[in-house]
Amino acid sequence: MTTEFRVETTDRTEVLDVTDRVEAALPEDAAGACTVFVRHTTAGVCVNEAESNLLGDLADALADLVPDEGWQHDRLDGNADAHVRALLTGNGLSIPVVDGRLDMGTWQSVLLVECDGPRTRTVSVVPP
């Protein structure tokens, strides 16, 4: 059974730790691999360290890698940069689960990557 939760973002490009919310969506006895997915073309999910300075660095790096302007799609709705940034992060993950807990490394966290905020994003979690 899929569980969804919403995340309110506050900046155009930002990275937020959603690990606790993903884990809360898992049954206590879950084992296998869960899927984490965002139903958006201008947001993504990834696994990395959730140290506060690094979260800002990741957002800054995406902004530096992908220029804000000069894209053909901008003639339509002005957010081509957000689509390209989200493409770099991906929209889904598969994460091992043991005894209802995410089985990740010590410094690994599930991160929501906002590329076209501020917005309300929906994250889907499909348990094993």
Helix (H) or strand (E) holding 97: strand 92-98
Residues with Cβ within 8 Å of residue 100, at least 6 apart in sequence:
23, 26, 27, 28, 29, 30, 31
**pLDDT tens for residues 38-74?**
999 999 999 999 999 999 999 999 999 998 888 788 7
The sign of the CA dihedral 6, 52, 65, 117 is positive
Topology of the domain comprising 3-126: Jelly Rolls (2.60.120)
Q: What is the pLDDT of residue 128?
A: 96
Residue spans per domain, the chain: 3-126
Low-confidence ranges of the chain (pLDDT < 70): none
Q: What is the pLDDT of residue 72?
A: 80
pTM for the full predicted model: 0.95
State how far the Cα of 54 lies from the Cα of 52, in Å rounded to an integer: 5
Q: What is the pLDDT of residue 67?
A: 86
